[in-house]
Amino acid sequence: MTKAKILFFDSGVGGLSHLKSVENIYFDFFEYYYLFDNELFPYSEKPDSVLIEKLVPLISRAIKELKIDLVVIACNTASTLILDQLREVVKVPVIGVVPALKPAVEFLVKQGKTEKSVGLLATKATIARPYVLKLIEFYTKPIGQNVSLLGTTDLVEYVEAKIRNKPTNKDLSKILAPWLNNNDLNLGVIVLACTHFPLIKDEIQELFPNILLIDTCYAIARRIGVLYGFFKSKEIEAQRKEFVEYLKQIKHEEHSAVLDKHLLSTKALTEEEFSGLKHHGFIDYQHFPH
């Protein structure tokens, strides 16, 4: 049976958080492609017009040349900007990621903690988007629209360096100091509204030990499952369980080898740079310029 091909797209390596979530659930039912736009990274420093002009043609071409069946825009900044334009010009399903404000507020309501606030941790570009501001206005009414916004490019660069095994002079506690040093915020939940941030979720949790952190990793994986009928077909579920049992008998390193995972970037990687990402299970690399 021919595997469906899923393309994950991000400005950097942040989308690996969502790719990992999907592959941990569906394993080898899909062939995975990960395209990151390291040429224009970070997106939060680029004008919207430039991103629209560059990204829509890039992703459209990737879909055509790689024969992609489904696209995940694993980038909040890009998702809040290009989803409509991209869906107008491609024929395959396109899934985007948006800040998980709805489940964050639902959690506070369920816990009876509506006096607490939601922290929205994102890039500077994401928190400035009219679309995100509308989400905040719509979903946070039950808590009196009590939301604290923290937009940071430094945190994205911190994660990027960490995942790619590069040195960094960024300090996590200093980056998050506006929240750490403000006891009046009364945070009850923090929304990780950038796909980079779940990759250091444990580190962030150490700084906020009593606060729930929410991301969109599982939501995206579940959405893919709905599109492909994983939650309806008993046969597919049985196959998945059989594969899970198989994975329990092999080493983690071998788990990576059985997956078809391909890495692409808009700016050519050196052999050393690819080696720094190869441990994520990629079997090959391709330069895919704008």
Annotated binding site: 10-11, 43-44, 76-77, 195-196
Which amino acids are annotated catalytic? 75, 194
Amino acid letter, 116: K
Instruction: Lay out the sheet containing 212-214: strands in order across.
Output: 147-151, 117-122, 187-192, 212-214
User: How far, rounded to the nearest angstrom, does the alpha carbon of residue 274 sit from its chain's CA centroid?
Assistant: 20
Q: How many CB atoms lie within 10 A of CB 142?
A: 12
3-state SS assignment for residue 214: strand
DSSP element (H, E) containing 139: helix 130-139
Distance, in Å, from the CA atom of 262 to the CA atom of 1, rounded to the nearest integer, reads: 19
- 33 backbone dihedrals φ, ψ, rounded to 5°: -125, 135
3-state SS assignment for residue 188: strand
Q: Is 16 in contact with 199 (CB distance < 8 Å)?
A: yes
Nearest partner of 215 among 84, 74, 95, 115, judged by Cα: 74
Distance, in Å, from the CA atom of 21 to the CA atom of 219, rounded to the nearest integer, reads: 9
Binding-site residues from annotation for substrate? 10-11, 43-44, 76-77, 195-196
- 62 backbone dihedrals φ, ψ, rounded to 5°: -65, -40
- 119 backbone dihedrals φ, ψ, rounded to 5°: -95, 125
Residue burial 28-41, b: 16+ Cβ < 10 Å; e: rest: bbbbbbbbbbbebb
Distance, in Å, from the CA atom of 19 to the CA atom of 170, rounded to the nearest integer, reads: 25
